[in-house]
Amino acid sequence: VDERPAVMAGLATASKAYLDHFGFGFVMFINGFGADDVLAAMRDRMHNDYETERKVVRNELARINRTRLERMLGPEGGYNNW
């Protein structure tokens, strides 16, 4: 969690605006991204129409779920048996 007050306040404000605009919470695969990147993505995606944003959210959820499955199942080809 980024504890810079301005960044945290910006994320809270942008998150509320996003929820008010689209009617669902902001979803993003954040591995490798910082708070500033997330805030920029929120602001950029506010320009999407509803259907476009639903597609973006589905893609982000797929990335999140794929990563979770990869962590649960292990590497391709499985683990060594020794």
pLDDT, mean of residues 39-63: 97
Q: 3-state secondary structure string, 20-33?
A: HHHCCCCCCCCCCC
Q: Is 55 part of any domain?
A: yes
Rounded Cα distance between 64 and 70, Å, is: 10
Residue 82 is encoded by which pair of tokens? 């020794």
- Give how many domains the chain has, as a whole number: 1
Q: Is 65 part of any domain?
A: yes
80 vs 41, which has greater pLDDT?
41
**6-34 per-position pLDDT tens digit:** 888 999 999 999 999 999 999 999 999 99
User: Kind and range of the H or E element at 40?
Assistant: helix 35-45
- Sequence-distant (6+) residues with CB within 8 A of 7 are 35, 36, 39
Q: What is the largest CA-CA distance in the chain?
A: 53
Q: Is 78 part of any domain?
A: no
pLDDT of 72: 81
In terms of residue numbers, what domain contains 59? 5-73
Q: Is 81 part of any domain?
A: no
